[in-house]
Chain A
Amino acid sequence: MRELSSIFIAWFVVFLMRLLSAVGDSRSAYDHFLDWASSPLVVALNVLTLVFITLHAVTWFSLTPQAMAVQVRGRAVPGSVIIAAQYVGLAIVSAFIFWLVTR
């Protein structure tokens, strides 16, 4: 199931490119983009995208300790610490982006 997140990641990169292209173009293109983004089909797609991205984030974070052994001063860092660190990173990045676009 989580493998399907790849499709939604690609979709949202395309979505963001459309946003950037609209913002780079003009104010009316931006308004037009927001209209398009609020159409039922796109909203439904983005609800699914949020579900799959969340699934991706949770599963990816929990797999990281197996893929990456971190050592500090010769001692292995416990997996729970690596996982927690990623959630802290997620929180900081989310807060920063929220601040950047809404201030």
Chain B
Amino acid sequence: MTQAPAVRRPKRRILPLVWLTFSGGGVIAAVFLPVLVLLFGLAFPLGWISAPDYAHLHAVVTNWLTRLVLLGLFVPMLVHSAHRFRYTLYDGLQLKRKLLIAFLCYGAAMAGAFASLLVLLSMR
């Protein structure tokens, strides 16, 4: 994931920062999400494993290091998702309103990033 193939495709001017965040988010989603979906999405709600005690979970997630790490996980994943969804719409559905789609996708990612910042800051 060193660089985008900018030389071969000069027309597609992907901002290097977006590309880097995209691939970072892809790695994060691949490495962190499987266990989180399994635990918090299925095992805890369905009682396969008893859900973590409130006080313990509260202590873990309100730790400032945890908040920082979570922000560092969420934002790249949102950018990754938006970027990939954008190209799914272009290539899969052959949509033409490219500028509008890009604006909506990255706009949603930015809104999500802002929302996650608010959530992480407002936890008591």
Q: Which residues of A contact B (CB under 8 A)?
A: 3-7, 9-10, 12-17, 19-21, 23-25, 27, 30, 34, 37-38, 42-43, 46-47, 49-50, 53-54, 56-57, 60-61, 64, 67-69, 86, 89-90, 93-94, 97-98, 100-103
Are B92 and A9 in contact, CB atoms less than 8 angstroms apart?
no
Q: From B38, B44, B77, give the contact of A13 (CB < 8 A).
A: B77
Residue of B whose beta carbon sits closest to that of A21 = B119
Are B40 and A15 in contact, CB atoms less than 8 angstroms apart?
yes
Q: For chain B, residues 75 to 92, give those with C-beta under 8 angstroms from any C-beta of chain A.
A: 77-78, 80-82, 84-85, 87-88, 92
Are B45 and A16 in contact, CB atoms less than 8 angstroms apart?
no
A97 to B40, CA, bound (A): 11
A61 → B minimal CB distance (Å): 6
Not counting A7-B85, A37-B44, A57-B34, a sample of 16 additional A-B residue pairs whose C-beta atoms are within 8 angstroms of each other reads A9-B81, A10-B108, A13-B78, A17-B116, A20-B119, A23-B62, A24-B58, A24-B61, A24-B122, A43-B45, A69-B2, A86-B27, A100-B60, A102-B39, A102-B49, A102-B52
Q: Which residues of A contact B32 (CB under 8 A)?
A: 93, 97
Q: From B57, B81, B119, give the contact of A7 (CB < 8 A).
A: B81
A12-B36 contact given A6-B88, A7-B81, CB 8 Å threshold: yes
A97 to B116, CA, bound (A): 20
Q: Which residues of B contact A86 (CB under 8 A)?
A: 27, 30-31
Q: Which residues of B contact A16 (CB under 8 A)?
A: 36, 40, 70, 74
Are B31 and A89 in contact, CB atoms less than 8 angstroms apart?
yes
Q: Which residues of A contact B33 (CB under 8 A)?
A: 9, 12, 53, 56-57
Are A6 and B123 in contact, CB atoms less than 8 angstroms apart?
no
